[in-house]
Amino acid sequence: MMKKPPQIKLRTKNQLLYLKLSNGDDIVGDCLGEDEGHTMVFIKYPMLIAEVVNPLTQTLYLMLSKYMVFGKDAVIPIKTDQIIMMSFAMDEMKSFYNNSVVYHREIGEKTIIRELNKGNEQIVSYINDEREDFEEVLDTFSDDLVVPSNTNIH
């Protein structure tokens, strides 16, 4: 019989939490609570904590980035069995977190949308160019191309 994982009982609603996930990610976010079965924690605006080293100065910086970069929802459910450590965030982290959330909502998301749209335009252009080239090649060989009737083309 499989042993049931321990349940996390949160008394941390509306608290800024620092979570270490089983995949190695460190995230911080506003905890809105958990589901009745204690299987999910709901985190509003989860931010991934990253350490970045400036290669020129070897200076270490902390950075917060949106955890679900392409996600539309502000609240993300995280399975409690994926949380290996949890703590209240340091007081000094609160303003850094709040400023990072504002930055990503007002500037970061617009940049992401702009880059996605630009990337989509480039992909469509590439597909159209390739399609034209492919059609030219097919036209060149169309008279010589013979496909047996019993052949399946995938």
What is the 8-class DSSP label of residue 14?
A: T
Write out pLDDT tens, residues 137-152.
Answer: 666 666 555 555 555 5
| Alpha carbon distances (Å) from 76 to 68, 72, 132 | 8, 10, 43
The pLDDT, as a whole number, for residue 80 is: 92
Residue that wins the pLDDT comparison between 97 and 9: 97
The pLDDT, as a whole number, for residue 128 is: 77
For the 15-103 domain, the top CATH level (class) is mainly beta
Distant-in-sequence, close-in-space partners of 69: CB < 8 Å, separation ≥ 6: 112
| Alpha carbon distances (Å) from 111 to 34, 58, 93, 107, 148 | 32, 27, 25, 6, 51
pLDDT (average), residues 126-145: 69
**What is the pTM for the complete model shown?**
0.66
Write out pLDDT tens, residues 56-95.
Answer: 999 999 899 999 888 888 899 999 999 999 999 998 899 9
Residue 7 has pLDDT above 70, yes or no: no
